[in-house]
Amino acid sequence: MIYTAKKDVNSACKIVAEDMLLTTDMPTAAGSKMLDGYMSLLEAEVLTILKDKGYGVCGKADVGEFAIDLLGETSYNGANTADGKLLNSSSEILKANEADAVIALDVNGTTRRAAAQNGLVSVKPTYGTVSRYGTVPVACSGETVSVMAKDAKTCRKVLDDIAGHDDKDGTSLPESEIAKKADAKEIKRIAIINDMMADVSDDVKANIDSAVAKLDVEVVNIDSSVIASSRPAWNILMSAELCNNVSRYDGVKYGHRAEKFSGIDELYTNSRTEAFGDLLKTAIIFGSETLSTENYMKVYDKALRTRRVIVEEFAKIFAEFDAVMIPACSKAFYTEDDVKADKYVSYKENFYTAPASITGLPAVVAGGVQLIGKAFSENALLELASKI
Partner 1 sequence: MKYETVIGLEVHVELATQSKIFCSCSAHSYGAEPNEHVCPACCGMPGMLPVVNKRVVDYGMKAGLMLGCHINRVTTFDKKSYYYPDLPAAYQTTQWFAPVAVNGLVEIETSKGKKGVRIKQIHMEEDAGKLVHDIREDTTHVDFNRTSVPLIEIVSQPDLSSAEEVVAYLDRLKNLLRYARVAECEMAHGTMRCDVNLSVRPEGSDKLGVRTEMKNMNSIEAIKRAIEYETARHIDALENNTEVLVQETRRWDDIKGKSFAMRTKETAGDYRYFPDPNVMPVVIDDNWFDEIKSSLPEFPEVKRERYMSEYGLGEYDTEQITKSIALCECFEEAAKTCGDAKNAANWIISEVMSILNLRQMTYDMLTVSGKSLGELITLVSGGKVGRANAKKILAAMFDDASINPEEYANANGFVISNDTGLIDKVVKEVVESDPKSVADYKGGKEKALMALFGRCMKELKGNCDPQTLRKILIEYIDKI
Q: Which is nearer to partner 1, 114 or 243 (CB)?
A: 243
Q: Which is nearer to partner 1, 142 or 355 (CB)?
A: 142
User: Closest separation between CB of residue 278 and partner 1, Å?
Assistant: 21
| Partner residues linked to 219 by β-bridges | 190
User: Closest separation between CB of residue 139 and partner 1, Å?
Assistant: 8
Q: Which is nearer to partner 1, 250 or 338 (CB)?
A: 250
DSSP state of 133: T
Rounded to whole angstroms, the Cα distance separating 208 from 365 reads: 11
* Residue 316: Cβ-neighbour burial (10 angstroms; 0-12, 13-18, 19+): exposed
Q: Which is nearer to partner 1, 291 or 332 (CB)?
A: 291
Q: Which is nearer to partner 1, 220 or 297 (CB)?
A: 297
Helices 230-245, 278-290: axis angle to 10 degrees equals: 100
Helices 378-385, 152-162: axis angle to 10 degrees equals: 160
User: Closest separation between CB of residue 352 and partner 1, Å?
Assistant: 23
Q: Which is nearer to partner 1, 222 or 291 (CB)?
A: 291
Cα angle 290-292-295, degrees, rounded to a multiple of 5: 60
User: Closest separation between CB of residue 210 and partner 1, Å?
Assistant: 38
- Residue 317: which H helix or E strand, with range? helix 302-320
Torsion of Cα atoms, 221 then 225 then 231 then 232, to 10°: 170
Residues that bind partner 1 in the complex, under the rule CB under 8 A: 22, 30, 40-42, 44, 132-137, 140-141, 167-171, 240-241, 243-245, 247-248, 250, 252-254, 264, 268, 288, 291-293, 296, 300, 304
User: Closest separation between CB of residue 331 and partner 1, Å?
Assistant: 32
User: Closest separation between CB of residue 41 and partner 1, Å?
Assistant: 5
Rounded to whole angstroms, the Cα distance separating 214 from 212 reads: 5
| Partner residues linked to 57 by β-bridges | 15
DSSP state of 331: S
